[in-house]
Structure 1
Amino acid sequence: MNKIKLKLSQFLKRIDNQWQQLSLEKQHQYLLTFFLVYGLFSVIVFIKIGFDVASNKESIHVEHIKQPFQNSKDSNSVIDSSSTIHKKM
């Protein structure tokens, strides 16, 4: 576990040093590009969700759940195991 922490720490320090060596203009350019791409993806997802909601004209039909063995008068029918009572003797 300590080896993983050490390697991760070294990797993050190396990346941070590379970032610090960049000029401020280059850092600004990278951050601006990142946020523009993030914003573009967000807008695309919101538009897609809007189209999906607007185009879906179906509504959910809600009704009572029918119990399969409630009306069954057949003695050979399977009984739900959760409704059987087990007695210890």
Structure 2
Amino acid sequence: MKKFRSTIEQFVKELKLRWASIPVKKQQRYTLSFFSGYALLTVGIIFHVIIYQTGKPSENVRIEKIKNPMEQIEKRKIVLKDSLSVNLKNKFYERDSK
């Protein structure tokens, strides 16, 4: 893990040195071009989501009453047990009453 961390730190140092060696005007042009690309991509995604996807009506969505899933299960499969009729104690674990 230490070797991996030192490799990453060395790579970051090299990138900082390469960036510092570029003239300031070129750094400003790179920064402006990356920001412009990011802004253009953001505007494009916002346009696509808000105007394109929400603008056209979807015919696939149907509004219906919610159905109870228990009605779909066959009545004979459901066996209701009263909790009072179930013997929760096991004779093996009970104490002898003497």
Q: TM-score, normalised by structure 2?
A: 0.68
Distance 2:45 2:39 in 1: 10
Larger Rg: 2
1:1-89, aligned counterparts within 5 Å? 1-49=1-49, 50-58=51-59, 61=63, 63-69=65-71, 72-73=74-75, 75=76, 77=77, 79=78, 89=90
Let me know the Cα RMSD of the aligned residues: 2.9
Higher mean alpha-carbon deviation, 32-41 vs 64-73, is at 64-73
Name the aligned partner's letter for residue 35 of structure 1. F
Instruction: List gaps (5 residues or longer) in structure 2.
Output: 91-98
Distance 2:7 2:89 in 1: 60
Name the aligned partner's letter for residue 5 of structure 1. R
Q: Which has the higher contact order (CA 8 A, sep 6+)?
A: 1
Structure 2 counterpart SS, 1:14: helix
Work out the number of aligned pairs and report it: 84
Instruction: List gaps (5 residues or longer) in structure 1.
Output: none
Higher mean alpha-carbon deviation, 28-37 vs 61-70, is at 61-70
